[in-house]
Amino acid sequence: MDGDVYSELEKYGKLGVTALASATPKASGETANSWSYRVTKTKRYARIEWYNTNTVNGVNIAIILQYGHGTGTGGWVQGRDYINPALRPIFDKIASEVWKKVTAP
């Protein structure tokens, strides 16, 4: 995988962080500000991983916002799908960019 494709993944990693931060439900803003990414490159593949480091008592807050969680009194707080819609346009851009590179003469 050449450096050009790798730098493109860095660009999309940053775009994903921005999209996730913007889409994250905000009370204090701490979860929205805790998004990051890493690009892993091997001889066989390259991968972008987005992650959120905001945890409370060992619980990742971004995950419980996404999927919901139980309360201490037996109730349930419904999750809100904000991660997938935020990243979908990024995935589409990556697919388009890679397609252009593999079909270029």
Residue 98 covered by a domain: no
8 A C-beta contact, residue 96 and residue 38: no
Q: What is the pLDDT of residue 1?
A: 44
Instruction: Note whether residue 23 is domain-resident.
Output: yes
Is 36 within a domain? yes
Q: pLDDT per residue over 57-104, tens digit each?
A: 999 999 999 999 999 899 999 999 999 999 999 999 998 988 887 787
Query: Does residue 103 sit within a domain?
Result: no
Q: Is residue 96 included in any domain, yes or no?
A: no
With pLDDT > 90 as the criterion, what percentage of the chain qualifies?
72
Q: Is residue 91 part of a domain?
A: no
24: containing domain? 3-85
Q: In total, how many domains does the chain have? A: 1
Residue 104 within a domain: no
CA distance 34 to 2: 30
7: amino acid identity, one letter? S
